Structure 1
Amino acid sequence: MNHKDSKGGRKVKKIIVWLLAAAAAGSLAACAGQEGGAQQNAAAEAKGKAEADDGESVSIWCWDETFNIPAAEAAADIYREKAPDFQVEITNLSFDDIVTRLTTAAAGGQEDTFPDIMLMSDTNIKKFVTLYPEYFADLTESGIDFSQFADYKVEAGTVNGRVYGVPFDNGASIAVYRTDLLEKAGLTVEELADLTWDEYIEKAAPVVEKTGLPMLITADNNQLINCMLQSSGYWYFEEDGTLNLKNNEGLRAVFETYKKLMDTGILQIRADMESYYSSFFDGSAVGMMNACWIMNTLKKDESLSGKWAIANMPRFSDIEGASNSGNTGGSSWIVMNTENKELAIDYLNHTFAGSPELYNELLKEISAVATYLPAKDQPNYQESQPFYGGQPVFKMILEYSDTVPRVNYGIYTAEAADAVKTALTEYRTGAADLDAALEQAEQNVSFLMQ
């Protein structure tokens, strides 16, 4: 793409400036209290490049030494069965730092500094591939079988009908409940599965009355909103990328249902993540709905083992194509157009896109739930989990993820999400009616998209 001559070039420049500013702010925050971090990353990169001279190697930018990095290393161990001298050079960068490096290098024509593979959050793939299509490898005809992944994850990495991302972790929604608290109200978790929202409210209201506790809690953010919205089959944008807030059937249903949950006491909002997490353990709520990655937090209190169970979330009965499964969060592996891209693609094709055994290992070692559907037949996915009352929760989650609707995240999801959160607060508190709240949100996002 020629950014100077392309239609909408001023818009692209505006986005680039915004991305650089946002990433720089995030990077400064991430660096606080981490003296020597830059030097350590530089040393790691130099070490990796030296090792690359000794055999076949791919370079990777990703974050999280407890999750994504060990996953890439475990994949390399499997790939070495095919290529014994294979190495991965991993640079540990926060996503903000990845954005900074990507945008700075692209603006300066320094694409030779790109890695062979980078990890990218799903809601950002379309944004960066749209901005810099020449830097990302088109994987559509790479030999990777994308039909083996949850459909919604493939859509997240698809731009103009071409696939750019190899799906990794799972952000499918789950409802999680304290079964001991449900029992006090005479309910079982099985009675809360496969419901519509109207049916759910009918069952949940007596639980609130009998226990004096909210059935659900959520943090004051967009996580529950996004789970509900994607389950409806809608997003903030149409399939062609057009903003759609004011007349969005799914979003209107989310707002009305959210308010009803609040008004009946079924749902309570916690002011911050700390108080949200605390409610998991102190018995001040019966349950919550969020992405499946929230389960890692639940397991921090082993004294509650056997007292948790999961179900899918309710669906919107009046919306055609709505599902009992939504999504929030998740990331995918992106291949860059480097000289080494064929090796990078082969590494991904034989591991994250081709090895159920890898996902079996990752589930055990780092609790990484796959969106690679063949993994559900692996032993660790089949096992009942004592922590969740004997449910085979990971197999269940993979089955949920296969029914998450495809949506177009667009390139302004963050801006739309902020505006929607504000609009929902105004609507549920009575500061604005539904039409006015959504119209103002659409106007605000439209201005940012100019």
Structure 2
Amino acid sequence: MTLAVSAMLASTAPAWAQTELNIATVNNGDMIRMQKLTDDFTSKNPDIKLNWVTMEENILRQRVTTDIATKGGQYDILTIGLYETPIWARQGWLVALENLGDDYDAEDILPAIREAISIDGKMYGAPFYGESSMVLYRTDLFEDAGLTMPEAPTWDFIADAARKITDRSIDLNGICLRGKAGWSENIAFITAMSNSFGARWFDEDWQPEFNGPEWKNTLQFYVDLMQDAGPPGAASNGFNENLALFQQGKCGIWIDATVAAGFVTDPKDSIVADKVGFALAPDNGLGKRSNWLGSWNLAIPAGSQKIEAAEKFLSWATSKHYTELVAASEGWANVPPGTRISLYENPEYLEAAPFAKLTLDSMNAADPINPTVKPVPYVGVYFVAIPEFQGLGTIVGQLFSAALAGQSTVDEALAQAQEVSVREMTRGGYIK
């Protein structure tokens, strides 16, 4: 063959092509860390290129919902929660994850999480981390104030302590709680809180209950506490904003996701890393605590043309190997928590993470089937597992955030929440 013919054949040969995966994810610390560690994946899978689309939580949920509902095909991998996973799976919007590899060990996933993301025994999401909620507090401030945090505090104790340790003169807020409007921001927290006050979104006949005394007690307690001991502009603060405040030493108490424990005890980011204690989410003596059950999961939209490549990435990102990779890079206390049984049997992790047992106990105590004091027709601890909840929860979240900001009264917010809930539930056919 002549050199000219060889050159011609070489020029017309198809170029080697990579499979590109567009990954929609949330802008929290664990997901940002994962992006920094993906060289481990791409070095073993050079035929796969990862494109990250990182968004604030409210925006992420809105965009992935729109994309999958309209079959837009913008993303190959979605980051979704316990709320979306089973609902979207039943609607045929997600791929059943049956090819994650022989060494994936799905049976090692905590039963509460695995069951929540499965339909008929098939997983439709790969859990990246799982969580409940807990109290995180400044041990030095409690000692200075002569306070001792109980392992299982009440809301009255939390409120009293928060007011006592507040010091506006040095920008020290007694407590930081979610105020940012969103069904997965302030509504997630306030719904879990309301469970401990005896409230429920709907009675057994799907009638909304925002006009009842339990909801009035919940929201009034929350607003009064935040006005007395919370940070300025609290109606704009979600998980990330409160995390930053706590790490900067500006919060005495923070009640939020257990996953936060690793971030507030990391001396690289937190100036109070050696002054943090933990306790169970508060209760009101009614038999229910304010702890929730949640997880961030990686899922593949149905109809994807890149299922094989996407499954490879999901398997890597939620594997035992990835946990060890984070441990080697960042330390055992910073590995993604709340998904695998083996992590809570690992002595290295238990030694490095003083919050590990409390996290596991809180997750195991959450009961999505019976989340409230009174019986309810729905499943879900900090959400109601019906398709309408995403839109309804967003509207109610805006009403509650406005009450926190002083733009309306608690009574006005609850009356409007009742009105919009009755309308939406009637439109959805739940009530006549």
Fold-level match, TM-score > 0.5?
yes
**C-alpha contact 2:136 2:255 (8 A) present in aligned 1:** yes
Establish whether residue 384 from structure 1 lines up as the match of residue 344 from structure 2: no
Q: Could you say which residue in structure 2 is the equivalent of 1:215? A: 174
1:415 matched to 2:391? The reply is: yes
- Displacement of 1:293: 4.4
* Matched residues, number: 374
1:314 Cα deviation after fit = 0.7
Counterparts of 1:74-85 in structure 2, within 5 Å, are 74=40
Three-state SS of the structure 1 residue aligned to 2:130 is coil
RMSD between aligned residues: 4.9
Alignment of 1:341-420 (within 5 A): 341=307, 345=311, 348=314, 352=318, 355-363=319-327, 365=329, 367-372=334-339, 373-384=341-352, 392-406=354-368, 407=380, 408-420=384-396
Give, as a single letter, the amino acid of the residue that structure 2 aligns with 1:403: A
Letter aligned with residue 306 of structure 1: D
Secondary structure at the residue paired with 2:291?
Answer: coil
Q: Structure 1 pair 349/426, CA: closer, same or farther in 2 (3 Å)?
A: closer
SS where residue 382 of structure 1 aligns? helix
SS in 2 for 1:432: helix
Cα distance in 2, alignment partners of residues 102 and 442 from structure 1: 21
1:164-243 equivalences in 2 (<5 Å): 164-188=124-148, 191-201=149-159, 204=162, 206-207=164-165, 214-222=173-181, 223=185, 225-230=187-192, 232=195
What runs of 5+ residues in structure 1 fail to find an aligned partner? 1-46, 53-57, 386-391
The structure that is helix-richer by fraction is: 1
Q: Give 2:400's match in structure 1, choosing from 424, 428, 433.
A: 424
1:69 aligns with 2:35: yes
Aligned counterparts, 1:17-416, within 5 A: 50-51=17-18, 59=21, 61-63=23-25, 66-70=32-36, 74=40, 88-94=48-54, 107=70, 115=76, 117-126=77-86, 128-129=88-89, 133-139=91-97, 148-150=108-110, 153-154=113-114, 157-158=117-118, 163-188=123-148, 191-201=149-159, 204=162, 206-207=164-165, 214-222=173-181, 223=185, 225-230=187-192, 232=195, 244=208, 246=210, 254-259=218-223, 261-262=225-226, 265-268=228-231, 270-271=233-234, 272-273=236-237, 276=242, 279-280=245-246, 283-295=249-261, 298=264, 299=266, 301-318=269-286, 320=287, 322-323=288-289, 325-326=291-292, 330-337=295-302, 338=304, 341=307, 345=311, 348=314, 352=318, 355-363=319-327, 365=329, 367-372=334-339, 373-384=341-352, 392-406=354-368, 407=380, 408-416=384-392
Distance apart, 1:216 and its partner CA: 0.7
- In structure 1, the residue matched to 2:376 is none
Q: How far is the alpha carbon of 1:258 from its aligned partner?
A: 1.6
Check the 8 A contact 2:178/2:242 in 1, yes or no. Answer: yes
2-structure distance, mates of 1:241, 1:158: 27
Measure, in 1, the Cα distance between the counterparts of 2:363 and 2:204. Answer: 24
Mapped partners of 2:415, 2:305: distance in 1: 52
Q: What is the rounded CA distance, in whole Å, between the counterparts of 2:89 and 2:314 in structure 1?
A: 19
The CA distance in 2 between the partners of 1:425 and 1:297, in whole Å, is 26
Distance 2:410 2:220 in 1: 15
Q: Is 2:24–2:64's contact at 8 Å kept on the other side of the alignment?
A: no
For 1:137, the aligned partner's letter is V
Q: Any idea what SS the aligned residue of 2:421 has?
A: helix
Hey, what's the Cα distance between the residues in 2 that align with 1:362 and 1:327? 23
- C-alpha distance after superposition, 1:103-127 (max 9, x if no partner): 568757x86x863x44334444356
- Among all aligned residue pairs of Structure 1 and Structure 2, give the percentage whose two residues are the same amino acid: 15
Separation (CA, whole Å) in 1 of partners of 2:63 and 2:157: 47
User: Secondary structure of 2:352's partner?
Assistant: coil
From the superposition, tell whether residues 246 and 235 of structure 1 become closer, same or farther in structure 2 (CA, over 3 Å): closer
Normalising by structure 2, we get a TM-score of 0.65
Deviation by residue 1:91-146 (Cα, 9 ceiling, x = unmatched): 212356897688568757x86x863x44334444356445xx44422348999876
Q: Is the 8 A contact 1:270 1:276 kept in 2?
A: no
Preserved CA contact (<8 Å) 1:252 1:434 = no
